């Protein structure tokens, strides 16, 4: 398993699609996931530690997990098939299918680590050779030149 961190969340200039950039915690590989606007907002709120007036869906689920689960949950990005990303929320011996964008929003609220399989980072990872700030700039340039169509079926709700 590969530990991931949220590197950046932004809007791709050509299509206006939201892009979540995750980076390998101990390396230079990154994952770029096109995500829907509600998940972008949920992730941004968690990063900024914004407290909603009333709990939103990810807040509610995080509270339920915190109260009911004795073991620390795991948020794992498990595969990419035909441009669609898959993940699992692991609660003890239960594995629940989940979109990676929802897993990230949930992991940031619990807080728990975000993981992916070695296969995911090996096949879908983008290698950025520069330091953190240069890497982000290099990735921004990459986003300026790329379109979601380059990665298969649209940004819909797959991330």
pLDDT per position as a tens digit, 14-50: 888 999 999 999 999 999 999 999 999 999 999 999 9
Q: Is the pLDDT of residue 128 over 60?
A: yes
Question: Considering the domain boundaries, does residue 113 fall inside one?
Answer: yes
SS3 string, 43-97, reads: HHHHHCCCCCCCCCHHHHHHHHHHHHCCCCCEEEEEEEECCEEEEEEEECCEEEE
Within a domain: residue 159? no
| pLDDT confidence bin for 155, thresholds 50/70/90 | very low
> Could you report the per-residue pLDDT of 57-99, keeping only the tens digit for each?
999 999 999 999 999 999 999 999 999 999 999 999 999 999 9
Residue 125 lies in a domain: yes
As given in the structure block, the two tokens for residue 45 are 């709120």
Q: How crowded is residue 55: how many other Cβ atoms within 10 Å of its Cβ?
A: 14
In a domain, 34, yes or no: yes
Question: Is residue 10 one of the residues assigned to a domain?
Answer: yes
Q: How confident is the model at residue 136 (pLDDT cuts 50, 70, 90)?
A: low
DSSP category for residue 130: S
Long-range contacts, 142-151 (Cβ 8 Å, 24+): 142/32, 143/10, 143/12, 143/13, 143/19, 143/32, 144/13, 144/14, 146/12, 147/14, 147/15, 148/12, 148/15, 148/17, 148/34, 151/32, 151/34, 151/83
Domain that holds residue 28: 2-151
Segment 109-121 shows an average pLDDT of 98
Q: Is residue 156 part of a domain?
A: no
pLDDT at 62: 97
When divided into structural domains, the chain yields a total of: 1
Sign of CA dihedral 21, 158, 79, 109: positive
Gap between the Cα atoms of 36 and 55, Å rounded: 20
Q: What is the CA radius of gyration of the chain?
A: 15
In a domain, 98, yes or no: yes
In a domain, 157, yes or no: no
CATH of the domain at 122: 3.10.690.10
């Amino acid at each position: 398993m590969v530990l991931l961190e949220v590197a950046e969340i932004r809007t791709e200039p050509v299509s206006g699609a939201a892009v979540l950039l995750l980076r390998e915690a101990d390396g230079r590989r990154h994952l770029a996931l096109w995500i829907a606007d509600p998940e972008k907002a949920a992730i941004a709120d968690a990063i900024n530690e914004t407290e909603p007036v009333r709990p939103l869906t990810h807040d509610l689920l995080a509270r339920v997990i915190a109260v009911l689960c004795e073991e620390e949950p795991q948020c794992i990005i498990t595969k990419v098939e035909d441009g669609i990303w898959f993940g699992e929320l692991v609660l003890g011996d239960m594995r629940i299918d989940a979109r990676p964008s929802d897993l990230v929003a949930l992991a940031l609220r619990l807080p728990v680590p975000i993981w992916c399989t070695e296969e995911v980072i090996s096949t879908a990872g983008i290698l950025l050779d520069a330091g953190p700030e240069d890497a982000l700039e290099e990735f921004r340039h990459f986003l300026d030149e790329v379109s979601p169509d380059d990665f298969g079926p649209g940004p819909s709700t797959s991330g």
